[in-house]
Amino acid sequence: MEFGIGSFADLTYDKDKRQFQSPGERLNELVEQVKLADQLGIDAFVLGEHHRQDYAVSTPEIVLSALSQVTKNIKLASGVTVLSSSDPVKVYQDFATLDLLSGQRAEIVAGRGSFIESFPLFGYDLKDYNKLFEEKLELLLVLNKEEVVNWEGRFRPSLHQQVVYPRPGRALPIWIAVGGTPESVERAGRLGLPIIFAIIGGMPKQFKPLVEYYKQVYQHYGHDLAKMQIGVHAHSFISDSADELIDKYFPYYASTMDRIGRERGWSPYTVNQFKGGLSEDGALFMGSPEMVAEKMVSTIRMFGLTRFVAHIDVGGPSHADLMKSIELYGDKVLPLVKKELGEG
């Protein structure tokens, strides 16, 4: 069982000044946060890709490369690499380089992305959303397996007897991130790739049929069950108590939910929704260390997980609060979880 933290590098919004935090400031804070996670023995750091004003990171591999030089053990992963609007050759080269710099700690978490800004930015048509991902994933897997590449596709020029450098000396770990579509789950299972479910709403138990479907497909195609990896990536934040969480963190979280919600036609996010997410069956892994640990153990057992990633910075809380949350996660939550799972 592995335990990670995740980030989109949300920028704190100053309501008085009506402006976002400086991206440079946020990136330097992020370095300190991941250094702390590494020191605490957290297994993995997962960093998202966005092309928006409210997030600081558009190229996770560059930030992860910087982190590789100030950390020792923590795995460094994208989460996600929006593969549909990326060039798989460049993705492979970037992460191969990161793997060499970090001493084989790089991982690619590929997904279609829930935001669409990268498609017009890089000249892709949204009508090709699914086909782009399928084709580019196919090429990425070929690059990861074959040193001399022969490949033809529809959206990218063909490769004939082409060698892509640098070579990292191993097959890079490639995960598939999914939201909740059976087609995405089937693809990951059929290809025998590790899967990570983004659970950001509703109830985790609603994902149980999808997790079981992945296991069935994975086994049906003859993949080694001993190598099967299943993860969950969920909104998380640890504080001294649930009351403190609602008083101090809820405004940050609600601000982001409302900003995204206005773009997608959602109703304003309420305290009652937040409290529902904090409940025993809710999808928010937030509150006191004891609350979060109990929910994590339940989810790990329900799905048979091999990795849990706590996405800790939704809404852009302060650096001090994020450092405290990471410290509580590493020093309080994880020992409780490991003890309950018999790993402590």
List all residues 6 or more positions away from 290 whose beta carbon is below 8 Å from its beta carbon: 336
Residue 337 lies in a domain: yes
pLDDT at 267: 94
Hey, what are 134's tokens? 């399928």
Q: Residue 22: is its pLDDT beyond 70?
A: yes
- State how far the Cα of 316 lies from the Cα of 52, in Å rounded to an integer: 14
* pLDDT tens profile 230-273: 999 999 999 999 899 999 999 999 999 999 999 999 999 999 99
In a domain, 212, yes or no: no
What pTM was computed for the model?
0.97
Query: SS3 of 314, please?
Result: coil
Q: Is residue 186 part of a domain?
A: no
Structural domain includes residue 228 = no
Return the percentage of the chain with pLDDT > 70, whole number.
Answer: 100
- Confidence label for 344 from pLDDT (cuts 50, 70 and 90): low
Strands (E), the chain: 2-7, 13-14, 19-20, 44-47, 75-78, 81-82, 106-111, 148-151, 159-163, 174-178, 195-199, 230-238, 285-287, 307-311
Q: How far is CA 260 from CA 14, 43, 100, 254, 315, in A?
A: 17, 30, 37, 10, 11
How many domains are contained in the chain?
A: 1
Residues of the chain above pLDDT 90, percent: 97
The CATH number assigned to the domain holding 20 equals 3.20.20.30
Least confident segment among 63-72, 110-119, 222-231, 290-299: 110-119
**Residue 154 is assigned to a structural domain of this protein:** yes
List the single range of 114-123, 292-301, 327-336 with lowest mean pLDDT: 114-123
| 71 three-class SS | coil
Which pLDDT does position 113 carry in this prediction? 82
**What is the rounded average pLDDT of the residues 317-333?**
98
202 lies in a domain? no
Which residues constitute the domain of residue 6? 2-180+234-341
- Which residues 6+ apart lie within 8 Å of 93 measured at CB? 164, 165, 166
38-47 pLDDT per residue, tens:
999 999 999 9
Provide the sign of the torsion angle of the four alpha carbons 218, 222, 225, 229, taken in this order: negative
- Could you tell me if 314 and 235 are in contact, meaning their C-beta atoms sit under 8 angstroms apart? yes
Whether 203 maps to a domain, the answer reads no
Contact 109, 129 (CB under 8 A): no
Tell me, yes or no, whether 219 lies in a domain.
Answer: no
Q: Return the number of other C-beta atoms located less than 10 Å from residue 261's C-beta.
A: 14
124-141 average pLDDT score = 96
What mean pLDDT do residues 123-138 have? 96
Measured distance CA(99)–CA(340) in Å, rounded: 33
